[in-house]
Amino acid sequence: MTEENLSTLATQTLEVSLGPQHPSTHGVFRMNATLDGETIVKLKPVMGYLHRNHEKLAEDMTYLGSMPYTDRLDYICSMTNNFAYALAVEKLAGLEVPERAEYIRIIMAELTRLVNHTLLIGFLLNDLGAFFTPVLYAFREREKILDLFESVSGSRMMCNYFRFGGVKIDFSPGFLEGVKSIIQNYPKFLDEFEKLLSENEILMARCQNVGVLSKELAISAGISGPMLRASGVPYDIRKVDGYSIYNRFNFRVPIGEVGDVYDRYYVRILEMRESIKILAQAVKEIPEGPFISPKGAAGAKAPRTFKPPKGQVYGRIEAPKGELGFYLVSDGSPKPYRYHVRPPSFINLTILEDMCIGNKIADAIVTLGSVDIVLGEVDR
């Protein structure tokens, strides 16, 4: 082989299509990567395989009729999907939420955060290709919380539990005792999880200084949630907006230093410990009273008569994956004139290439896993 041919081979790049699939089967996703050897020099996320026309469908149905469709956005976190949508409609219609209902919502939201972060860590280690045990531990603990969700909503995942002005039904007998058991036992599980993972040589070698996201890029790209905080930005909508009654609870906002895969893993561990603190306060302080406002109950029974006044609104929450927002425009009819979702999975995925360039192809999978996406929310 001539010296000229050797030179050509040395600079040749290889285009590889990863997918369409998700490594942990959360949906259908594809990455078109350009490699120099095993090093990523270009990466294009390809999405849209799970598009369900959520936003356009919502413009042709009643406001309440869209509530169960929000369950299908991030199908790991249906309670928080309901929360964000209910919050937006309540701002649009000027609906008040009773005290007890606010506490119920907080409890459901923080239980959902535990479910999401626990599963993410289990799947992350599965994506890494080194561990299968953590995902089994994660499913074991998730099951206990899903049993609680099922006891009040009748469903484990697609809960359809929130209503405008409150929630569909009050806690079932023994529900709070079940939450107290979670509060008591989850820290022990997290200690066990950390003992298995946090100082594990394989995890540290594969995750530290991999998929680094700088603070500046995270801010300019509109990244939110644990990904943003792992890059060192102490921004949490529960603190910033104080929506619902979050300003009554004492909790801190964990942040990372490097912004790598390891920081994104560990920030979620710390956030779960803070969620347990919030749950303990909420269970202790929850008052008696109605679980839905009379006006909201009327709307729930006769959704066709629910007509918010003309106007537009944006309601957002700190969902487990980041900022989940709903932009609604009302023309005074029973159906929204405009309905748009601001999904954290989609926004956070936009900087995947920036995090992967310069890393090895094997690192792209664990970097994607640390973003924490659900394709139902990405594609909608």
Give the count of alpha carbons within 13 A of 8, CB side only: 5
Q: Is the pLDDT reported for residue 139 higher than 50?
A: yes
Q: Is the pLDDT reported for residue 99 higher than 50?
A: yes
Q: How far, in Å, are 208, 209, 285 from residue 182 at the CA level? A: 31, 34, 17
Most confident of 31-45, 275-289, 292-306: 275-289
Q: Is the pLDDT reported for residue 3 higher than 60?
A: no
Q: Is the pLDDT reported for residue 324 higher than 90?
A: yes
Per the structure block, which two tokens stand in for 157? 């995942």
Give the model confidence (pLDDT) of 54-65 as tens digits: 889 989 998 888
- 191 burial level (CB within 10 Å; 0-12, 13-18, 19+): exposed
Q: Is the pLDDT reported for residue 21 higher than 70?
A: no
Q: Assess contact for 33 and 40: CB atoms under 8 A.
A: yes
What's the whole-number mean pLDDT along residues 352-377? 87
Higher pLDDT, 293 or 277: 277
Per-residue confidence band for 113, with pLDDT thresholds at 50, 70 and 90: very high
Per-residue confidence band for 276, with pLDDT thresholds at 50, 70 and 90: very high
Lowest mean pLDDT across 21-30, 89-98, 186-195: 21-30
What's the whole-number mean pLDDT along residues 161-170? 90
Per-residue confidence band for 74, with pLDDT thresholds at 50, 70 and 90: confident
Q: Quote the pLDDT of residue 308.
A: 87
Give the model confidence (pLDDT) of 118-136 as tens digits: 988 888 887 777 667 788 8
What's the whole-number mean pLDDT along residues 205-230? 91
Q: Is the pLDDT reported for residue 304 higher than 50?
A: no
Q: Give the distance from CA 28 to its chain's centroid.
A: 17
- 20 burial level (CB within 10 Å; 0-12, 13-18, 19+): middle
The pTM score is 0.90
Q: Quote the pLDDT of residue 282.
A: 93
Lowest mean pLDDT across 135-139, 180-184, 331-335: 135-139
Lowest mean pLDDT across 11-20, 234-243, 347-356: 11-20
Q: Quote the pLDDT of residue 198.
A: 84
Per the structure block, which two tokens stand in for 62? 């009643």
CA angle 124, 125, 128 (to 5 degrees): 90
Lowest mean pLDDT across 22-26, 30-34, 199-203, 319-323: 22-26
Give the count of alpha carbons within 13 A of 130, CB side only: 18
Tokens 């998929």 — which residue?
A: 211
Per the structure block, which two tokens stand in for 279? 């749950």
Q: Is the pLDDT reported for residue 363 higher than 80?
A: yes
Q: Quote the pLDDT of residue 301.
A: 46
Percentage of the chain exceeding pLDDT 70: 92
Q: Quote the pLDDT of residue 135.
A: 82
CA angle 22, 25, 29 (to 5 degrees): 25
Note the helical H segments in the chain.
3-10, 54-58, 67-70, 78-93, 99-128, 133-153, 175-197, 201-207, 215-220, 226-230, 237-240, 261-285, 294-301, 344-349, 352-356, 361-371, 375-379
Q: Is the pLDDT reported for residue 4 higher than 60?
A: no
